[in-house]
Copies of this chain bind each other. A is one copy, B any other.
Amino acid sequence: MRSNGRDLARKLLEGDRISLARAISWVENESDGAEAILDALYPRTGAAYRVGVTGPPGAGKSTLVGRLARSYWEAGMRVGVVAVDPSSPFTHGALLGDRIRFQDLPNDPRLFVRSMASRGSPGGLAFRTGEACDLLDAFGMEIILVETVGVGQSELDVARAVHTTVVVLVPESGDEVQAMKAGLMEIGHVFAVNKADREGAARITRNLKDMLRLRPPARDSWVPLVQPVSALRGDHLDELLDAIGKHRLHLEEAGALGRLKRERAAQRIREIVESELAATFWKREEVPARMKDALARIEEGRSSPYREAADLLHPAGKEKKTR
């Protein structure tokens, strides 16, 4: 028999990892019952510190996230990892490569790693990722690392759901310009120049610092830090952890930690309300037939989607127009 949401939430709070895994699956698949779990656990969230790790494909994000997770874990912390995979209908979800890439992390109760596929709407992905973090948070994780591919609006949305965003770049030609284009320069609190042993690392580090100096000061006066690292070799990880810690301290001193949770709550309410309004409208009995007629008129070149949308919403308006 399938357990219900409240049961699952209770077991999750008792520290049951299988319930945690199942709850995340429910959230990922938007299953019935996911909302009940999230509703039940919501008041237990807010203690975890959330760190996003983003950057262009190939920058070494996964390796770095693995290193960071291990470092926090070795420091005695409880660590959750959510890796967001752009999904592929072709491969039926996330790629196996991603599911196994963290395999060198220890199998330990203080460590929980999960990949999430980016099925469905991009806005939905950001929320499902945030909700998976909520579950890890309620489970008692102290640090949550969220890895996303850093190009595209949905990834920027994910970045908004974390406290500190680490942007990972590599010393390759134009990487910093691509980062600007993708909007990564605005969201990064810490910039990790990975593969720092490669040629060009000093240049990209200098360029980043120059570009960040040109950036108008952030609302909260945080000045982004740039840290060369080598995720593969494990070089300069302590400095990177230190940079993340500095940003955390900065937020704490500014009393800004609660703001993120408030903003997410407001955004979540907006999203649920809007999706319910839409669902209710499209379920109306007369709508499918009217939609069909509308599309036929457009096809015949007698109307446009703009006019037909207005008519669907305000049938009275249509009466007037055909008079």
Q: Is the contact region of chain A dominated by helix, strand, or loop, or is it mixed?
A: helix
- Which residues, 252 to 306 on A, are CB-close (under 8 Å) to B? 258, 262, 264-266, 268-270, 272-274, 276-278, 281-282, 291, 294-295, 298-299, 301-306
On chain B, the residues within 8 Å of A281 by CB distance are: 273-274, 277
Which residue on chain B has the smallest CB distance to residue A212?
B90
A28 within 8 A of B: no
On chain B, the residues within 8 Å of A57 by CB distance are: 56, 151, 174, 178, 181-182
Q: Chain A 140-170 against B: per-residue CB contact (8 Å), 1 yes, 0 no?
A: 0000000001011111000000000000000
Q: Given A90-B180, A182-B86, A295-B265, is A273 in contact with B312 using a C-beta cutoff of 8 Å?
A: yes
Which residue on chain B has the smallest CB distance to residue A314?
B276
On chain B, the residues within 8 Å of A180 by CB distance are: 88, 90-91, 95
Distance from A60 Cβ to chain B, minimum over Cβ atoms (Å): 11
Whole-angstrom distance between the alpha carbons of A317 and B184 in the complex? 43
On chain B, the residues within 8 Å of A258 by CB distance are: 299
Verify A262–B182 contact, CB threshold 8 A: no
Residue from the set A215, A305, A306 with the largest chain B CB neighbour count within 10 Å: A305
Verify A305–B42 contact, CB threshold 8 A: yes
On chain B, the residues within 8 Å of A86 by CB distance are: 151-152, 181-183
Whole-angstrom distance between the alpha carbons of A262 and B300 in the complex? 11
Which residue on chain B has the smallest CB distance to residue A44?
B301
Whole-angstrom distance between the alpha carbons of A87 and B152 in the complex? 10
Binds B, one of A70-78, A117-125, A189-197, A240-248: A117-125
Q: A: which residues have CB within 8 A of B?
A: 35, 38-39, 42-43, 56-58, 85-91, 95, 97-98, 118, 121-123, 125, 149, 151-155, 172-175, 177-178, 180-183, 185-186, 215-216, 258, 262, 264-266, 268-270, 272-274, 276-278, 281-282, 291, 294-295, 298-299, 301-310, 312-313
Given contacts A58-B174, A90-B183, A118-B153, list 8 more A-B pairs with CB under 8 A: A88-B186, A90-B185, A91-B180, A95-B181, A98-B181, A272-B310, A274-B274, A278-B278
